Amino acid sequence: MNLHSLKLKIILSSAVCIILLGVASNVYLYSYLTSIIAEKSDNIDRLNLETIHSGLDHILYQLEQLGSLCANDLDVAKAMRNSGLNTLSSKREALRAQETLKLYLSASNVEKYVTKLMAFNGHDLMTQAGSSVYNSMEDASRVRALPLYRAPSSNNARWTAAVSESIVDGKECIALLSPIYDFATSSYNGWLYIEMNMDWLSDIISPYGDTSFFISRGDGSLVSAGNSGTLPDVFGTQPLYDGQRLKHDGKVYHIQAISLRLGGLTLLGGFDVTFLSSGGRPLIYTVMVVIATSLVVAMVLAVLLSNIITRPLTRLMHRIRKISRNDLSYDPEIERGNDEIAHLGRMLNEMSGSIRSLLSEMEDMYKKEKNSEIALLQSQVNPHFLYNTLDSIHWMAAIQKNTGIMTMTKSLSALLKNLAKGVGDKIPLEEELSLLCSYVDIQSLRYMESFEFIIDVPKELLMCKIVKFTLQPLVENAIFHGVEPKGGQGLISVSASEDSGDLLITVRDDGVGMTAEELASVLSARDKASSGGLSGIGVQNVDERLKLVYGSRWGLTIRSEKNVCTEATVRIPKEV
């Protein structure tokens, strides 16, 4: 196959276009679908995180409500006024406070998670709700040793909650500490301490075991209890925040975070998005499949295009090659079909026909030119002998004072001299009019001055160029076919004007005029100048000469009306 052939170019261009289109569209589609999947995955992860957050916050809210009820209860506040249990009333108030705490705890939804609910004051008076763990008289001292107790001691904080070390088993727990206010003195006289184990975290998070959820403290460290999934080492080495992406052991994790309502805690979700982030290999496979498919489609398309395009073009090439070898015959094969190539074939056949017509016209013109040259040669005589004879006649007429003969011989000598120079040269309009006047002088004597001749040409147009002997045949036609048949006095005029850069010269006579049939005969190729004419050039020959010299848009037009007038107008480019 030729490397520069149209067929190969079609194959390559089709393959490139289809491959580029396929790769671009598939990459875009892959990226678009991946982004949609990633967005949906993020939404699902966020929904799960918000669901867990709602459950955790509900438990913390229940814990907060339990603490608020207990710390603001009147019986508990009365019990904390006492400095000990040395009186019967103080014992009764302590027992009443204990029953109240038990009642509040049993009515709370967090009862199963609460491992310690106690109220104590600075006099080591302590009352506790019953629990499944052992109650010790040292519990108040253990609470005072916690950082949670020392933090709010200098203010009137409503309550404080944090992840703390359990006073029961030393494990992590949620501890809530709230002051107990004396309504009589408006100052706090004791403390309410609630401790809740981390089972509540596991109960809410465990249904989502496929995803890693974590609880972090305010300093960014993770709470070890209650976490689901396998905790990657990298999660414990740096603070985590919402929207963060971490890479560890070839996996990519997307972090989402929501703050909890108590203790400065934050719920974190570590979602494995490795599949969504590692789209390079599937994308490469997709591109390879697209390229292979595109090549197959391109080959099929190339074969189809070859049959549709290259075959007709091949026929056109063969036809053009025949034209270059001068074979201008009509070829119907290149016109088959209704597409652009068939239209091009029709135009090519039309061009061949036009070339044939042009060659035929050129051959006819060549023959006419040869015949004109032969006629001119046949009509030539010895010019010096003829001029000398006319000069002798002129002087003899002058001696005899015969002005008519003097005028005729002078005009005839001037015309013959110009005829001997040929009829194809361009001369100024002024010179053409001078020759025309010489001719009219001779004809005026011949016809006993039976017509009047007028020239109306602006001076600025006298130097315009015109083909020699253009106007003489028109005036000759006006005399022979217009004025002479009229049988009376006639008028012949020559006028000139300028129109859009063209020179217009009109020869008009008021003779017998012509019918449409007579006018067509004058303009037909069969019309010949009369044998008695001067130049041997007919009216139709004038039009042909002008078109040959200037082009088809210029030439001669004749308008005639029977028994009124005849006007012959020459339109040529204005040349100076």
Beta strands in 311-425 (DSSP E): none
Q: What is the structure's pLDDT at 453? A: 92
Parallel, antiparallel, or unpaired for β 212-216 and 222-223? antiparallel
Nearest by Cα to 464 from 434, 494, 425, 503: 503
E strand or H helix that includes residue 91: helix 88-107
Which one is predicted more confidently, 4 or 495? 495
Q: In which order are the strands placed within the sheet that holds 251-259?
A: 222-223, 212-216, 266-272, 251-259, 245-248
| pLDDT reading at 513 higher than 80 | yes
Nearest by Cα to 193 from 61, 83, 66, 81: 66
Q: Give the confidence band of 556 by pLDDT, cuts at 50, 70, 90.
A: very high
Q: What percent of the chain has pLDDT over 90?
A: 17
Contact (CB, 8 A) for 546 and 570: yes
d(CA 471, CA 360): 29
Contact (CB, 8 A) for 179 and 157: yes
Q: What is the structure's pLDDT at 114? A: 92
Q: What is the structure's pLDDT at 420? A: 59
Nearest by Cα to 511 from 563, 476, 446: 563
Which one is predicted more confidently, 101 or 411? 101
d(CA 503, CA 550): 12
Q: What is the structure's pLDDT at 525? A: 46
Alpha carbon distance, N-terminus to C-terminus of the chain: 61
pLDDT digits (tens, 9 = 90+) for 94-107: 899 999 999 999 99
Q: What is the structure's pLDDT at 151? A: 60
| pLDDT reading at 336 higher than 50 | yes
E strand or H helix that includes residue 163: strand 160-165
Q: What is the DSSP string of 220-287?
A: SPEESTT--S---GGGGSS---TT-EEEETTEEEEEEEEE-SSTT-EEEEEEE-HHHH--HHHHHHHH
Q: Give the confidence band of 209 by pLDDT, cuts at 50, 70, 90.
A: low
Tokens of 330: 């009509």
Q: Give the confidence band of 423 by pLDDT, cuts at 50, 70, 90.
A: low
**Tokens 């004051």 identify what position?**
121
**Tokens 């004038």 identify what position?**
542
Burial 456-480 (b: 16+ CB within 10 A, else e): ebeeebeebbbbbbbbbbbbbbbbb
Parallel, antiparallel, or unpaired for β 490-499 and 451-456? parallel
* 389-390-391-392 Cα dihedral, nearest 10 degrees: 50
Tokens of 42: 């993020």
Q: Give the confidence band of 211 by pLDDT, cuts at 50, 70, 90.
A: low
Which one is predicted more confidently, 202 or 512? 512
Q: What is the structure's pLDDT at 154? A: 38
Q: What is the structure's pLDDT at 287? A: 66
Q: What is the DSSP string of 151-162?
A: GGGGS--S-EEE
Q: What is the DSSP string of 453-507?
A: EEEE--GGGTT-EEETTSSHHHHHHHIIIIIGGGTS-EEEEEEEEEETTEEEEEE
pTM of the model as a whole: 0.46
Q: What is the structure's pLDDT at 31? A: 74
d(CA 182, CA 186): 5
Q: What is the DSSP string of 189-217?
A: EEEEEEEE-THHHHHHHGGGTTSEEEEE-
pLDDT digits (tens, 9 = 90+) for 38-74: 778 778 888 888 888 898 889 889 998 999 999 989 9
Q: What is the structure's pLDDT at 455? A: 94
Nearest by Cα to 480 from 523, 436, 534: 534
d(CA 131, CA 280): 58
Which one is predicted more confidently, 568 or 156? 568
Diameter of the chain measured on Cα atoms: 189
CA atoms within 13 A on the CB side of 99: 7
